[in-house]
Amino acid sequence: MERTKKPASLSSQMKRKVATPSKKKEEYDGDFGTVISTGSTLLDLAISGGRVRGGGLPGGIFVEVFGPSSSGKTVLLSEIAGNVQRQGGEIMFHDPEARLNTQFALMFGLEIAEKDHLKPDTVTEVFTSVRKWQPEKKNVIHGIFTDSLAALSTGMEMENDDGDPFGGRRAKEFSEGLRKTCRLIADKNYLMVCSNQVRDVIGATQYQAKTKSPGGRALEFYPSLRLQFSGVRKIKLKKTIAGKEQSRIIGVEVNIDVFKSSIWKPFRSAPVTIIFDYGIDCVLDNLKFIKENTTNTVYTLNGRHLSNDINKAITIIEDDNLENELKEATINLWEEVEGKFKTNRKPKIR
């Protein structure tokens, strides 16, 4: 089914009031006065659904998104960047692989000024540009994006034929850059989101991780949130054309795990569907979530019968402008499910 990407309305991206947290606010990272959506209701909830209704990304944090190639990391960064702009924020996009073209960006309602679309070669260039950046608007979340960290080199590597064979210099530069920059991100309430690849660890024993994201231990320590892409499955569409069956890969289904979090609880996860010429298919994922977590045998919304077929149900939702109603129903059901796992214990005696 062909679908046209429609930018989210400002009403659907409005500020949300913070729910009373189960821990003291100062124990968490991030400013939840305003949140930015990832483009996926289920991922927003997995990230911070227990801190603010509907969840999302707060300002003042550094986020690492890592996973295998062609799993949708660039799409997620672009969705978040588009939502930053729709809420009035400015963005800076580091594109060391020069993969973000204008047509792709516009699919997410993303407009990047030439001065803010940078193609750095080194780790130092990225963090220096962040510290020099001076957005004009106040009292909004501004977004900084890098796609991807794995493509960045060091000055030593660029200048010497032998490069940095043991990767020590790059790890040191990431550590130095993050140590200086993360304080600024928090102080200025920026949202910095960077993608990273997963590399095999040669010679890993049975007690060691078989894969890791490049950049040294700093990229494990400094992020307030780490999102891991896994279980990538291709979506194949079949059509009969001129009497002959044709098929194409039109997207991927991926599981995104909250691998680390200091903004809410870790180890939540969300299924996310990404269509190549559309982006994150939040409507499809929300319909599946409601159906899989109720006794319904068909796709329904607040008691209304939609269809037995997911594509027909999507068409009804979009034709009748029911996206926000579906989103609210998804949040309500998620909160009901999450509530069943709440620990109801007497507070410890101090």
Residues of the chain predicted below pLDDT 70: 1-26, 155-167, 199-215
Query: How does pLDDT run across 43-78, given as a tens digit for each residue?
Result: 999 999 999 999 999 999 999 999 998 899 999 999
Lay out the sheet containing 244-261: strands in order across.
117-118, 91-94, 143-146, 191-197, 61-67, 225-241, 244-261, 269-275, 279-280
| Per-residue model confidence (pLDDT) at position 217 | 84
How far, CA to CA in Å, does 27 sit from each of 30, 31, 102, 224? 10, 12, 40, 12
CB 238 within 8 A of CB 247: yes
| Unique residue bearing structure tokens 């679309």 | 117
| Per-residue model confidence (pLDDT) at position 200 | 55
Complete domains list, the chain, with CATH? 14-280 (3.40.50.300), 282-340 (no CATH)
E runs forming strands in the chain: 31-36, 57-59, 61-67, 91-94, 117-118, 143-146, 191-197, 199-200, 211-212, 225-241, 244-261, 269-275, 279-280, 299-301, 304-307
Please state the separation of Cα 68 from the chain's center in Å: 15
Torsion, Cα 219 71 283 17, to 10 degrees, reads 0
63 strand-pairing partners: 193, 225
Alpha-carbon span 90 to 139, nearest angstrom:
11
| Per-residue model confidence (pLDDT) at position 2 | 55
| pTM exceeding 0.85 | yes
Please state the separation of Cα 31 from the chain's center in Å: 17
β-strands 61-67, 191-197 pairing: parallel
β-strands 143-146, 225-241 pairing: unpaired
DSSP three-state, residue 76: helix
